[in-house]
Each structure stands twice: as structure tokens, then as C-alpha cells.
């Protein structure tokens, strides 16, 4: 087997930034061999413009909604966005499969090697059988009415079994997960979190002020949403706590938890989580940021500084093409640096690589340039003074 050698102005290993005195050596199948000083690397070194990094990890996507690209306008707010997805997601299978294939092509082109994908249907199953990207399938369940919990959960188990048929070790790459605090009853939470092998949980968290208002005061847009859907939520009473603190006791101490969006998460929530470390160790809890989707829907951005300094790992997601113009981790990182100038390039690259691999429990394969891994090799050009620019571009090399 042959080797490939890469040298660039900077080399991000997944843990640290190295300069142009180092060369990355891989086997032709993409597995990492070593990083050596350029004087020891020999001939046939490929000089790369910009920076080298491991392939990106997209910890939150909805591949099944790819056919909704450009269908839902920006700035709808949470309630109208949810209604629009429910109304417009049903098109022909041919349209859905075509859009899913194009979306996966885009993920690959943009240097993404692994995806935490939300699944409410089986429509992504044929594409995933091609094995072009590593997926952790989050089989998502919603149901705010307690009486329907068992029926909805059993349906999700059927979906879990279908996706598990793709995997040699099914529980390593599939989970059944709750949609969001405002859409899952206590009864359904229990069924989900008691499911054997559910070792990674992902949940949309604190995505809007409307979500918080529901739990704090039992009022606002989500009450209107349930009324429009004809749902009787007479069982639900205000907790006088925000959504995260209202549902957190449902989670298990031995389950990894990815909290997605976190738009209204604040210092009080971080203090609450830190006091609750006995429930979920901080090494098992991750905040997933999807800033471009937050801006698209009109919810505003999270308090990036608070989350970045919380002591919990940050990971990155793109969300779906229903709420984003592209599936690009690089574009998410640009938005984060644009809105929080204190974020260093090594920090956000680690969020997008090694942290994401750990969150999906796939760090044995991805996330860093360590011998034997096959993390992908990606270059980023047009970096100025350690900052991404609008012109920064990603190129997949392996």
C-alpha cells in the first residue's frame, strides 16, 4: 500500500495547531500513518494551500427534510416553522430520495465524514445503505399526550430495528431519542430512556423563548400550536422552571446527552447542570450549536460565550436544509467567529472535529490525526490572521 504526504501553512491535529514544519502522512486508503518533521518526510509531498484539518463531524442534521430546501421562508419563528414542516414535508418518494442523495453529496463535498442524523421516517435508509458517510441514526419520537406514548414508542422501535439492520453492531450507531421538552410527555420520556442500548441521546433544547414560556407560565406560541393541532393538553401544568430544568431529571447518568440549539440557555442553566453532575457527568454532556439554522428560523443565536466557557464540550451541527441554505460545518464556524470574536481557530476546529467524534462515540475512527484512524483530510483556504473569512473555502482531500 502506498502513502500520501501533505504539508500546509498550518496543520490542526484535532487537539492542537502545528506549523508548516510538519508533514501529515497517510496511507492511500486514508488511514493515518504519522506526523513527522518536513526534513524527515522525504519526497512527493503535496503542498496544500491554507490549513489541514481532520474531516468535520456534523452532530445534528435532518437528511430526510432535504427536499424542503428553500420551501419555508426565513424568519417564521418556531411555531410557524414547525407547522410549515408538518404541512410541506409530504411529497413524492422520488422527490425525497433525489433530495437526500444531493444533500449527502453536499455533505461529502464540504468535508463532513460523520453525521448525527435525526430520523422520523425510513426515507434515508436506501441512501445510508451506500455507506458513503458514517451515520449515528437518532430515531426521533414525539408525543405530548400521555395516552399515546406506547403507540408512538412502539413505532420508533420498528424504525430502530430497520436502521439497525444496516449495522454490524446496531446499538453503536442507533438510538431512540426525544424530540424536545415541549413535544414529549413524561410517560414517553420514560419509555425512550429505558430502551436497552440507548447510550447516546440527542434532544432539541431551549430552541426559542416560546419554549421557555410554555414551561414557565403555560402560555404563548406553543399553546397556540397545540390548539391549532387540535391537541388537548389539559394534563400539562406550568413547572415555573425553564424547559431544560423541567425535564432534566428524566435523563440517565450512564447515557451521553447532546443538547441541540440552546438558544436561551443561560448562566443559571449552567449552574444547574454543574450541580447536577451526579446525574450526568460533564464528560457525557455536549452542547450542539447550529447557528445558521437559529438565524434562519428567527430564534436568535445562543449565548456563545456562556456555552464556550461552561466547562462542557461544544459540538457543531447544520440542522436541515429546511432551515439552512447549505450543509456546511465551515459556514457554521464562520458564523460563530463572526458573532463571538474571542473564539480562536483551534478551539472551534476542535468543536467541529474531535469533540463531535466523541459526542457520537466514534473517536476511534474520526476526529483527529492519530495512527490508524481514518478521519478524512480537509483543507481550509483563505484564512487571515487566524480567522475564517467570507472567502474561506473547504476542500476534501481524502
Got the DSSP string for 312-348?
SEEEE----TTS-S---HHHHHHHHHHH-TT--HHHH
For range 226-245, the mean pLDDT: 95
pLDDT score of 260: 99
pLDDT score of 282: 87
Contact yes or no for 64/103 (Cβ under 8 A): no
Q: How confident is the model at residue 144 (pLDDT cuts 50, 70, 90)?
A: very high
- Interatomic CA distance for residues 243 and 363, integer angstroms: 31
- Interatomic CA distance for residues 90 and 71, integer angstroms: 12
B/e letters for 362-394, b = 16+ CB within 10 Å, e = fewer, are bbebbbbbbeebbbbbbbbbebeeeebeeebeb
Contact yes or no for 290/336 (Cβ under 8 A): no
Q: How confident is the model at residue 169 (pLDDT cuts 50, 70, 90)?
A: low
Q: How confident is the model at residue 276 (pLDDT cuts 50, 70, 90)?
A: confident
For range 197-219, the mean pLDDT: 96
pLDDT score of 4: 97
Q: What digits encode the pLDDT tens for the residues 20-53?
A: 999 999 999 999 999 999 999 999 999 999 999 9
For range 339-358, the mean pLDDT: 98
- Which has the minimum average pLDDT: 29-33, 54-58, 164-168, 383-387? 164-168
pLDDT score of 191: 98
- Which has the minimum average pLDDT: 59-73, 158-172, 205-219, 286-300? 158-172
Q: Is the pLDDT of residue 18 over 60?
A: yes
CATH number for domain 1-54+367-398, candidates 3.90.650.10, 1.10.10.10, 2.30.40.10, 3.40.605.10: 2.30.40.10
For range 177-201, the mean pLDDT: 96
pLDDT score of 281: 84
Percent pLDDT > 70 in the chain is 98
pLDDT score of 229: 93
Percent pLDDT > 90 in the chain is 95
pLDDT score of 277: 62
pLDDT score of 279: 72
Q: Assign a CATH topology to domain 56-366.
A: TIM Barrel (3.20.20)
The average confidence (pLDDT) of the chain is 96
For range 105-124, the mean pLDDT: 98
B/e letters for 92-127, b = 16+ CB within 10 Å, e = fewer, are eeeebbebbeebbebbbebbbbbbbbbbbeebbbeb
pTM of the predicted structure, to 2 decimals? 0.97
pLDDT score of 172: 77
pLDDT score of 1: 72
Q: Is the pLDDT of residue 170 over 70?
A: no
pLDDT score of 320: 98
Q: Please report, for the chain, the start and end positions of each structural domain, with discontinuous segments joined by +.
A: 1-54+367-398, 56-366
Backbone angles phi, psi at 11, to 5 degrees: -135, 110
pLDDT score of 280: 83
pLDDT score of 33: 98
Backbone angles phi, psi at 340, to 5 degrees: -135, 95
Amino acid at each position: 500500500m502506498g502513502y500520501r504526504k501533505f504539508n500546509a501553512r498550518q496543520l490542526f491535529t484535532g487537539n492542537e495547531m502545528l506549523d508548516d514544519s510538519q508533514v501529515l502522512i497517510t496511507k492511500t486508503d486514508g488511514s493515518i500513518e504519522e506526523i513527522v518533521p518536513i526534513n524527515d518526510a522525504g519526497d512527493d509531498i503535496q503542498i496544500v494551500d491554507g490549513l489541514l484539518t481532520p474531516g468535520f463531524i456534523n452532530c445534528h442534521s435532518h437528511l430526510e427534510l432535504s427536499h424542503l430546501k428553500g420551501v419555508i421562508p426565513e424568519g417564521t419563528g418556531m411555531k410557524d416553522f414547525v407547522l410549515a414542516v408538518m404541512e410541506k414535508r409530504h411529497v413524492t418518494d422520488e422527490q425525497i430520495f433525489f433530495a437526500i442523495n444531493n444533500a449527502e453529496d453536499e455533505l461529502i463535498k464540504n468535508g463532513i465524514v460523520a453525521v448525527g442524523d435525526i430520523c422520523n421516517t425510513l426515507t434515508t435508509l436506501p441512501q445510508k445503505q451506500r455507506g458513503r458517510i458514517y451515520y449515528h441514526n437518532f430515531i426521533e419520537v414525539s408525543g405530548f399526550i400521555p395516552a399515546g406514548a406506547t403507540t408512538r414508542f412502539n413505532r420508533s422501535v420498528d424504525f430502530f430495528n430497520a436502521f439497525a439492520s444496516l449495522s454490524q453492531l446496531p446499538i453503536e450507531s442507533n438510538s431512540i431519542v426525544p424530540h424536545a421538552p415541549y413535544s414529549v410527555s413524561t410517560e414517553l420520556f420514560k419509555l425512550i430512556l429505558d430502551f436497552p442500548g440507548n447510550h447516546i441521546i440527542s434532544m432539541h433544547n431551549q430552541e426559542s423563548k416560546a419554549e421557555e414560556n410554555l414551561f414557565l407560565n403555560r402560555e404563548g406560541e406553543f399553546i397556540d400550536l397545540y390548539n391549532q393541532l387540535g391537541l388537548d393538553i389539559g394534563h400539562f401544568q406550568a413547572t415555573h422552571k425553564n424547559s431544560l430544568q423541567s425535564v432534566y431529571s428524566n435523563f440517565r447518568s450512564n447515557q451521553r446527552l447532546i443538547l441541540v440549539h440552546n438558544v436561551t440557555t443561560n448562566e443559571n442553566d449552567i449552574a444547574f447542570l454543574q450541580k447536577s453532575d451526579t446525574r450526568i457527568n460533564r464528560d457525557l454532556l455536549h452542547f450542539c450549536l447550529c447557528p445558521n439554522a437559529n438565524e434562519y428560523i428567527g430564534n436568535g443565536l445562543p449565548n456563545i460565550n456562556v456555552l464556550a466557557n461552561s466547562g462542557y464540550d461544544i459540538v457543531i451541527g447544520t440542522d436541515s436544509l429546511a432551515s439552512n441554505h447549505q450543509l456546511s460545518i465551515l459556514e457554521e464556524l464562520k458564523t460563530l467567529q463572526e458573532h463571538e470574536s474571542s473564539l480562536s481557530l483551534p478551539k472551534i476546529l476542535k468543536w467541529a472535529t474531535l469533540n463531535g467524534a466523541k459526542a457520537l462515540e466514534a473517536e476511534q475512527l474520526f476526529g483527529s490525526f492519530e495512527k490508524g484512524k481514518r478521519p478524512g483530510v480537509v483543507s481550509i483556504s483563505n484564512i487571515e490572521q487566524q480567522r475564517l473569512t467570507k472567502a474561506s473555502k473547504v476542500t476534501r482531500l481524502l
